[in-house]
Amino acid sequence: MLKAGTIEKTFENGTSWRFFLFGATAQDAMLEAIKGATKSIEIEQYIWSNDEIGIQFFQELISKAKAGVAIRLLCDHVGSFDFFSSEWPGKLRDAGAKVRFFNIISPWRVANFTAWYFRNHRKTMVIDNKVAFIGGVGIRKDIRKWRDTHLSITGDIVDAMKTNFDDIWNKSKRRNIFLLRKWFRKMRKFNLLTNVPHFFQRHIYHVLVDNIRSARHSILLTTPYFIPDGRLFRALRLAAKRGVEVKLIIPEKSDVMFFNIAAYSYIEPALKAGIRVFLFQNGILHAKTAVIDGKWATVGSLNLDTLSLLWNYEANIESTDKKFVDELAGHFETDLKTSREVIYSEWKNRPFFDKMLQYLSYPLHRFL
């Protein structure tokens, strides 16, 4: 079982990184990085709550702002509505920090289904233009117990993340959020990929599908929400049918119950195609990773659901660095030890009520 700690820092090709495998260790590392900042802090965050963990971050940011550190904080209006509606944005601005909220909508629409679309789901942070954080961890107390994957990283990738932040920061001010730069920048072994809800800017989605289509040996996927669009699911089934070992880890119990029901509706056709499905049983699974053929990997904020793949703003790192890829593959193998494989002969005999709920979820898949 994975312990609630970090994976030791690794250096390769001028880039260093450290993985954090639980919300608590990722949040603690980000807070320590903020405390050590001397020049600038840029944060892009989907979930930021006004609870005891969120307040710890607010207080440290206020202290840094008063000390002269340049701070820019961009939070999603819906995901961070608790923060938006609190006194903390004003306190941060009074201290000298710049605070903006992405795609602000009318408050009475926050709980509306349509408010889920065009959200900034990214979770990135850049400190002093030297070190960056990226992954799936938000700022909220209950997230501390979740199994997630977040990392800190140095090297050329930090410049790309800083420039990407500048772009979305500037566009969010003018609310011109659909005209972002083309963020697909090829580097040597590490690359920043982003998703924007425009066909020609869904870079994570297109790169992931292309790698699945070209896979020859193995595909290892971990996701908290598995509600893929037809193109992605077809690519996975075709890969399994041509002999690629496809393994998928999803949570046995998700933090969003209806998403769990929708994800379960894909299990039977996945098993029929030869995809091996595993249900994670050690608490809430929120990690979002992919490893293909042991040669390519990606990690970040992208879920394998329609919202993330097509309609929200996401940020991932992709890498062909062997040590990086091997570490993510190692996390996957460790998670398998606390996951239960779904056996087709047992799954097809699941209770009729479960089958009906999963069947009734189908019309909503394109909206999830």
Which whole number is the average pLDDT over 10-23? 84
Q: What is the pLDDT of residues 149-192, one digit of tens each?
A: 999 999 999 999 999 999 999 888 765 555 555 544 555 789 99
The active-site residue out of 64, 123, 331, 365 is 123
Closest CA to 124 of 182, 165, 81, 93: 165
> Is 128 known to be catalytic?
yes
12 has a pLDDT exceeding 70: no
Beta carbons within 10 angstroms of residue 182's beta carbon: 10
> Is 121 known to be catalytic?
yes
The active-site residue out of 121, 150, 203, 365 is 121
Among 36-50, 94-108, 117-131, 304-318, the least confident range:
94-108
Burial class from Cβ neighbours inside 10 Å (0-12, 13-18, 19+) for residue 60 reads: middle
Where residue 136 falls among pLDDT bands split at 50, 70, 90?
very high
Q: What is the pLDDT of residues 262-273, one digit of tens each?
A: 878 899 999 999
> Is 286 known to be catalytic?
yes
The active-site residue out of 28, 82, 159, 293 is 293
| Fold equal for 10-174 and 190-367 | yes
Q: What is the pLDDT of residues 282-336, one digit of tens each?
A: 999 999 999 999 999 999 999 999 889 988 999 999 999 999 999 999 999 999 9
Instruction: Find out whether 97 and 61 touch, Cβ atoms under 8 Å.
Output: yes
Burial class from Cβ neighbours inside 10 Å (0-12, 13-18, 19+) for residue 301 reads: buried
pLDDT at 353: 61
Looking at residue 94, its amino acid is: D
> Is 206 known to be catalytic?
no
Q: CB-based contacts of 3: which residues, under 8 Å, 6+ apart?
A: none
> Is 77 known to be catalytic?
no
**CATH 3.30.870.10 describes domain 10-174:** yes
User: Could you give the maximum distance between any two Cα atoms of the chain, in Å?
Assistant: 63
Q: What are the structural domain ranges in the chain?
A: 10-174, 190-367
pLDDT at 260: 76
Where residue 200 falls among pLDDT bands split at 50, 70, 90?
confident
The active-site residue out of 28, 82, 128, 159 is 128
Which whole number is the average pLDDT over 207-232? 96
Q: Please state, in angstroms and rounded to a whole number, the distance separating the CA atoms of residues 78 and 85.
A: 11
- Class of 190-367 per CATH? alpha beta
Q: Which of the listed ranges 40-44, 307-311, 349-353 does the model predict with the highest average pLDDT?
A: 40-44
The active-site residue out of 64, 286, 331, 365 is 286
The active-site residue out of 77, 203, 247, 288 is 288
Sign of CA dihedral 162, 127, 12, 135: negative
